[in-house]
Every structure is written in structure tokens, then in C-alpha cells.
Amino acid sequence: MSETRRPLIAGNWKMNGLADESLRQMQELVSRARKFDNPGCDILICPPTTLLRELARVAVDSPVRVGGQDCHANASGAHTGDIAAEMLKDSGARYCIVGHSERRTDHGEDNTTVKAKAEAAHRAGLIAIVCVGETLAEREGDKTLDVISDQVTNSLPKGATSSNTVVAYEPVWAIGTGKTPTPLDVKAVHAHIREELGKLMNDAAKVRVLYGGSVKGSNAAELMAVENVDGALVGGASLTAEDFWPIVKTGI
């Protein structure tokens, strides 16, 4: 991790969590984090929207932040089942994930949609965590860097800066599979992302680029030590404070 970019260790709970148990896990995470006056990283939990307000309340005045997992491009309107970035902000969110590969796959979101969602997050005053990553077929076809270039270039809106945007590199084949790229592969993609960011914004050197995909307590330190890796986006291992904490510790 770099001296100049403050790491972000983010948990993405996806569609997991009912109130009682989730509250317990958040309380445990917050109480561990409160022991650090001045933690060396930002800590984030993106729970299901139903839990956002309550978890934000538990985390108030602590180093732990909450965020959304997705948002609609519009601020309001006739969009049954969708949630606006402004609503997430209103519920206590500081961040919003956009373009997660599960959204790209399950909901057919393309770069244009993702860009509009990132713009919406910015409009609402949220930090957008824009996810990019190649599929296994793309990696095996030696297309990783091209896919990443395309996603970074076309998913980031004008107006993206190091203060309102985080990029998360999540190889699709590494998500929830227990497989991770080698540190050398991660290094190559992160360097490439930073280079692409340099073409799009003035403060590319300050943008945090997270790694995500099967991050666990046992591999976090190795992955976080890779050049240009500024934190992690963690799925399965963020669901309990016990599993998430060793990952947070690599940044704290």
C-alpha cells in the first residue's frame, strides 16, 4: 500500500444479512475499530439497503462508514424496486459501489449504465466505487488489459476525481471462488489501471485502486503489499467481524 493514498478496506455484503445478526456483526466491527484513535485506513461496510440506516447509526462517530451496493442513475421517479443515490445518502451512506460484475451480469449493466450510476453517486455526494474486471475467458484469451482499458475509460464519468471515485479491480473468475491472481498479475493490472486513469484525470496518482476477489485474512497481507493496491473490496469474508477484522488489520 502507498504512503500517499489512504487505503480503503471495504466489505460488500451483497444480498446477505437480516437485522439481528447483521447488527451484532456491525457492533463487533465498530467496537474493534473504535480502539484505534487514528486508523491508517478507511473501513467500509456496504450492507443490503434495508440495513443501511440502522448500521449507519451503530457506526456513528466511529471509523467505520457504510455504503450502498448499487444505485439508479436518476434522483427519483417511476423506477419500481430501484434506489436513488440520494436515498442512500439520506440513509447514511458515504459510498456506493457501481458496476459490480454481478450487476453487469445479472442485470445486463454495460459501461454506459455504470457511468451514469457513478455520475449519480457523485451528484448525491457519494464516493463511487467503480468495479472493473475480466472474465476467465477474457483472461485466457489474453484480453485482460484491453477489457480493463475499455471498462475504465467508459465507466468513469467526466468529473471523476480522487476524492469522489475509487476503482476496484475484481477479476470475475476470482469472485467467490477462492481463486486469486498472483501478486504479479495483480501488479500488472493495477499499474495498467493507473496508467489509464492518468489519461482521464489530473489526479490519477491519488485515486485509490482496490483489489477484490476471494480476499481473506490468509491472503490479504500479500495482496495489499502489491504496488498500486490501495485496499480491498471483500465479499464473503466481510460478513462476520471475525473474518473481516484480519483484513482490516492489514490497513489499520
Residue 123 corresponds to which cell in the numbers above?
Answer: 451528484
**Residue number, 104 or 123, with CB nearest to ligand PGA:** 104
Taking the C-alpha atoms of residue 10 and residue 130, their distance in angstroms, rounded to an integer, is: 13
Q: Rounded to the nearest whole angstrom, what is the least distance from the CB of residue 248 to ligand PGA in the complex?
A: 14
- Only one of the segments 117-125, 143-151, 155-163, 209-217 lies at the binding site for ligand PGA (rule: CB under 6 A); that segment is 209-217
Q: Is 212 in the site for ligand PGA (CB under 6 A)?
A: yes
Rule CB under 6 A: say whether 114 interacts with ligand PGA: no
Closest CA to 234 of 84, 67, 112, 55: 67
**Are residues 126 and 88 in contact, defined by beta-carbon separation less than 8 angstroms?**
yes
* 100 is a catalytic site residue: yes
Angle at 162 between CA 225 and CA 146, to 5 degrees: 70
Out of 86, 109, 170, 196, the residue judged to bind ligand PGA by CB under 6 A: 170
Q: Which is nearer to ligand PGA, 86 or 129 (CB)?
A: 129
Choose the binding region for ligand PGA from 62-70, 109-117, 195-203, 232-240 (rule: CB under 6 A): 232-240
From 100, 122, 190, 192, active-site residue: 100
Rounded CA separation 102/119 (Å): 20
Residue nearest to ligand PGA (CB): 235
- Could you say which of 175, 193, 224, 252 contacts ligand PGA (CB under 6 A)? 175
Binder of ligand PGA out of 136, 176, 182, 227 (CB under 6 A):
176
Q: Decide: is 235 part of the binding site for ligand PGA (CB under 6 A).
A: yes
Contact 230, 1 (CB under 8 A): yes
Stretch that binds ligand PGA, among 68-76, 80-88, 168-176, 187-195 (CB under 6 A): 168-176
Size of the site for ligand PGA (CB under 6 A): 13
Nearer to ligand PGA, 175 or 226 (CB): 175
d(CA 227, CA 3) in angstroms, rounded, equals 11
Q: How far is the CB of 176 from ligand PGA (least distance, A)?
A: 4
SS3 51: helix
- Is 227 designated active site? no
* Rounded Cα gap, residues 47 and 18, in angstroms: 10
| 208 SS3 class | strand
Query: In the window 2-61, what residues touch ligand PGA (CB under 6 A)?
Result: 12
CA 196, CA 116: separation in Å to the nearest integer?
19
Active-site pick, 86, 170, 190, 196:
170
Cα separation of 224 and 155, whole Å?
Answer: 24
First to last CA, the chain: 11
Query: Is the Cβ–Cβ distance between 47 and 91 less than 8 Å?
Result: no
Active site residues: 100, 170
**Interface ranges with ligand PGA (CB under 6 A):** 12, 170, 175-176, 212-215, 233-237
